[in-house]
Amino acid sequence: MKIFTASFRYFLLIASSFVLFFPIVYAFLVSFMTGPEVLSRSLIPSQLFIENYERVFRTVPLLQYITNSFVVSTAVMIGQLIVCSMAAFVFAFIPFKGRNVIFILFVSTLMIPWEAAMIPNFLTVQSFGWLNSYLSLTVPFFALAFGTFLLRQHFKTIPHELYEAAQVEGLNRFQFFYKVVIPYSKTSLVTLGIYGFLTTWNMYLWPLLVTTNDSKRTVQIGLKQLQTVEVATEWGVVMAGVVIVIIPTLLLLFIGQKQLQKGLTEGAIK
C-alpha cells in the first residue's frame, strides 16, 4: 500500500512538473523552428534553426536592453537590502512612541495597488527631471513594505539580551546592526535580494512610462518591440528572444531556490 501511495505521489509530481514546465520547454523548441514549422504546429524542430537567435540581435538592441535590466535590477536589489534592513532594524530594536502604529500603517501600504500610485510617482520623478534615467527606474522601489516586514520578522528572533550585551560591550547601534544582525540574517537578506532582482527584471509598465529611448529601456520592452517588429509567421525569432531573456532569471532562481524558499517560510511563521 505504501509503495502504491508513493508511486501515485511521484506520478502526480511528474505530471505537475510537466504541465508547469511545458510552456518554457515549448518556447525553447519553437526558438529553433522555421516559420512554416511553427505554423504547422510542430512540437519538435526538424533541425536546429539557429538563425532565429542571430535575427534577434539584428532586429532590436537586445544586448543594450539586457545590460540596462542588469544595472536596474542590481541597483534596486542593493537599494532594497540597505533601506529595508535599516528600517526593519529600527522597528525591531529601537523603541519610540507610536512604533507599532507606524509599522502597521507602513505594512498596510501592501494593500495599495502599485497602479494606484503610478501617476503620482510619475509626476514626482518628472518634477525631479529624472525621466529617461536610471534614477527613475530604481529610486522609487528602494522602500519596500514587504521587504521591511520580512526582515523585521527575522530580526525579532534575535534575543534582546544580545542587543543589551552588545551595548554593555560598547557597541553602538550601527555596529550592532552590521556586526551582529546582518550576519545572523543572511538567509532573509538573500531571499529579499532574489525577490527584488526578479520582480525588477520582469517589470514592464513603469520602465515603458518613464523611458523614451533605447539607451535606458529594459529587456521586457525589448521583447514587446521584437513581437511588434516581427510578422506573425516569425514566432521562432520572438521565442529566441524570450529564451535569451529568461536564462538569467532561471539561473538565479535555481541557484537561490533553497534560500528563497527557506527565507519566505521563516518570514511567514515567525
Whole-prediction pTM value? 0.83
Cα distance between residue 139 and residue 45, in whole Å: 44
- b/e for 14-40, b at 16 or more Cβ within 10 A? eeeeeeeeeeeeebebbbbbbbebbee
pLDDT in tens, 168-219: 888 888 888 888 888 888 888 888 898 899 899 988 889 988 988 888 888 8
Asked if 62 contacts 218 with a C-beta cutoff of 8 angstroms, the reply is no
Whether 257 has a pLDDT exceeding 80, the answer reads no
Number of helices and strands (H, E) in the chain? 16, 0
Whether 261 has a pLDDT exceeding 70, the answer reads no
Cα distance between residue 142 and residue 144, in whole Å: 6
How is residue 96 written as a grid cell? 519610540
| H or E element at residue 223 | helix 219-229
DSSP SS3 for 213: coil
